[in-house]
A = this chain, B = another copy of it.
Amino acid sequence: MHETTQPRQLSLNAFIYPSGHHEAAWRHADSAPDRIYDVSYYQEIGRTAEAAKFDAVFFADGPALRQNVKHYAAPGLEPITLLTAIAAATTHLGLIATASTTYYEPYNLARLFSSLDHISGGRAGWNIVTTGTDLAAANFGLAKHPDHAERYSRAREFVDAVVALWDSWEDDAIVLDTESGIYADPDKIHEINYVGRHLRVRGPFNSARTPQGHPVLVQAGASNDGRSFAGQYAEAIFTAHQRLEDAQAFYSDIKARAASFGRNPEHVKILPGISPFIADTEAEAKALEREFNELTVPAYGLGQLRNLVGKDLDHLDLDGPVPVELFGDAGDVTDNSRSRLQVIAGIVQREKPTVRGLLHRLAGARGHRVFVGTPEQVADTIEEWFTKGAADGFNVMPPYYPGGLEVFAKTVVPILQERGLFRTEYTGTTLRDHFGLPRPESQFAGRAAAAQ
């Protein structure tokens, strides 16, 4: 008998939001909003994800108080420190944090992620964003949020500089010869002398190359600039789609872009979000979703929608239809989150919901796909998207934590494992191992160092 080759495997991330991705989750008895500042809560979630053999956990982030916290239990802890604490409580789980190229300095951010990669033994990933909210600007002394194109222009320079810093110590720079008194080989430690339009960084970095060569580069933008950036740089991409055909179109677009940059498209993992309400029967799952929707506070949902469309919505009748003109010129009103607006406009066109209905729809996972059904049905839709060229895996967004992750781990993961789609044991120790990504060589390998 021949060993069969390993079939293509799903990747699964747990996208952690303190009380869950449903905006009213914090009001539900199955969430734990009193533990939002309690590190052991996140360490427990990390251990649940690791026991279920998830590739990674993931945190979103932005340097501003974005949500209206009167009615919303917003995240409070900084993701890189939080992931460091989760690293200490786990051994294999990947650890992905979002951080902004618009509101950070490359040298500082490079150090944080490098350190996380060293501390975790090669489990770090960086979700590169240009920051969606213009509220951040005033926290950094800027009169306005830089516009979309400027942000992506800086993002490119930022990533180039950060990767060069990470590469600046070649893998074998540390000699550690106590006898002769040589600790490191200066010829293998390089100034990067990065000079861009936005950024200048000399280097070298003040730390050795990390276990993964460098942390995995993740990305989550879907505009044309965002996709182009993703095709060139991203090793994993988080994305939001409601429908199989949209996800397929996105999937092949990104893979083609990656190929056009000379990259192997298999080294670009595309991971749509899915927020599953799971119960033994479909009816129970629907009832569960309804329970959460009934806990929403309309004033909160309207405020979120107003921020997105940039128009006052107070006059709207909750039980009337959503006016079509709300999204008519959305692309011009705000350059943030264009792709999310398009997703919502699609929902409105197809489903013609009432205002309250749309708010419930968005309450689920901010435009990500909410799926309501039995464990088999969740596994079926995951398998369908995975096998039909729409996804290499999923960013699982439990509507409520910790229970929503536990039920997924207990009921959906075993089905995916039985079908041979998902690992039953980790086969490696780094996030690159889990995602099936190569360890990059230093761009300076073999190059002579600048005279010192």
Task: Give A contacts to B, CB under 8 Å.
Answer: 24, 26-28, 33-34, 37, 39, 43, 62-66, 68-78, 80-82, 84-85, 87-89, 103-105, 107-108, 111-112, 114-116, 118-119, 138-141, 176, 178, 181-186, 189, 199-208, 295, 297
Chain B residues positioned under 8 Å from A203 (CB to CB): 65, 139
Going nearest first, the 4 A-B pairs with the smallest beta carbon separation are A88-B88, A138-B202, A78-B115, A141-B200
Contact, CB under 8 Å: A81 / B27: no
Contact, CB under 8 Å: A184 / B77: no
Q: Decide yes or no: A119 and B39 within 8 Å by CB, A71-B183, A202-B139 being known contacts.
A: yes
Q: Name the one of B71, B181, B208 contacting A297, with C-beta atoms under 8 angstroms.
A: B181
Q: Name the one of B64, B76, B118 contacting A76, with C-beta atoms under 8 angstroms.
A: B118
Q: Name the one of B28, B73, B78, B84 contacting A183, with C-beta atoms under 8 angstroms.
A: B73
A89 to B203, CA, bound (A): 33
Q: Name the one of B105, B116, B139 contacting A103, with C-beta atoms under 8 angstroms.
A: B105
The chain B residue sitting closest to A207, CB to CB, is B76
Contact, CB under 8 Å: A81 / B206: no
Chain B residues positioned under 8 Å from A26 (CB to CB): 178, 183
Chain B residues positioned under 8 Å from A62 (CB to CB): 206
Q: Name the one of B33, B65, B89, B181 contacting A176, with C-beta atoms under 8 angstroms.
A: B33
Chain B residues positioned under 8 Å from A75 (CB to CB): 206
The chain B residue sitting closest to A296, CB to CB, is B181
Q: Apart from A65-B206, A76-B118, A140-B201, what are 7 other A-B pairs with CB-CB below 8 Å?
A: A37-B208, A73-B183, A77-B118, A84-B85, A85-B88, A105-B140, A107-B140
Contact, CB under 8 Å: A66 / B105: no
Chain B residues positioned under 8 Å from A107 (CB to CB): 63, 103, 139-140
Chain B residues positioned under 8 Å from A114 (CB to CB): 78
Contact, CB under 8 Å: A189 / B69: yes
A226 to B68, CA, bound (A): 40
Chain B residues positioned under 8 Å from A206 (CB to CB): 62-66, 74-76
A331 to B342, CA, bound (A): 62
Give min CB distance, A358 to chain B, whole Å: 19
Give min CB distance, A302 to chain B, whole Å: 14
The chain B residue sitting closest to A76, CB to CB, is B207
A74 to B203, CA, bound (A): 15
Contact, CB under 8 Å: B201 / A141: yes
Q: Decide yes or no: A70 and B186 within 8 Å by CB, A77-B119, A118-B39 being known contacts.
A: yes
- A70, A74, A82, most chain B CB atoms within 10 A: A70
Give min CB distance, A428 to chain B, whole Å: 19
**Subset of 10 A-B contacts with CB under 8 Å:** A39-B87, A65-B206, A69-B189, A71-B183, A76-B118, A78-B111, A78-B115, A82-B119, A88-B89, A107-B139
Q: Name the one of B33, B112, B181, B201 contacting A81, with C-beta atoms under 8 angstroms.
A: B112
Q: Name the one of B43, B103, B202 contacting A108, with C-beta atoms under 8 angstroms.
A: B103
Give min CB distance, A322 to chain B, whole Å: 23
Contact, CB under 8 Å: B63 / A108: yes
The chain B residue sitting closest to A192, CB to CB, is B139
Chain B residues positioned under 8 Å from A33 (CB to CB): 176, 178, 183
A111 to B74, CA, bound (A): 15
